[in-house]
Structure 1
């Protein structure tokens, strides 16, 4: 004979089932044009802000790195040409 093992999820099953039974099958609601355009505009602004933040965190350090690399390259080529200081 097996000992009885209590399932911890069994206790939560009844409230979840009752809550699911109380939920409506379909929500029939009207969203006016003002509220709908506001929601769409807010969503677009949020996505644009996230994308611009990512671009800012990636682009500006890369831009600085490329500028520093170009400056080092310029100092190397200027010194190697023999056109430096003449005495």
Structure 2
């Protein structure tokens, strides 16, 4: 079985690496739409990562500031 499979895989690999002309045209509208879709996916992944990391850090820093304000007196002097 392996003696038959190896030449078939080797032939498929050789044929897939052989370049040939696509003879296709992508108009400017389809190209711009494809670029916009790719940038949208990348942007949404980036914003998801920022959202997951930003809010816990913001909450941690806010909690640390409020503890510092409470320990230093925190009340306004009477005017």
Q: Which sections of structure 2, spanning at least 5 residues, go unmatched?
A: none
What RMSD, in angstroms, separates the aligned Cα atoms of the two structures?
2.4
State the TM-score, normalizing by the size of structure 1. 0.68
Correspondences of 1:60-75 after superposition (within 5 Å): 60-75=55-70
Q: Which sections of structure 1, spanning at least 5 residues, go unmatched?
A: 1-7
Larger radius of gyration, structure 1 or 2? 1
State the TM-score, normalizing by the size of structure 2. 0.74
Q: Which has the higher relative contact order, 1 or 2, with Cα contacts under 8 A spaced 6 or more apart? A: 1
What is the CA-CA distance between 1:71 and the residue it aligns to?
0.5
What is the CA-CA distance between 1:11 and the residue it aligns to?
5.3
Please identify runs of 4+ aligned residues in structure 1 that moved more than 4 A.
Answer: none
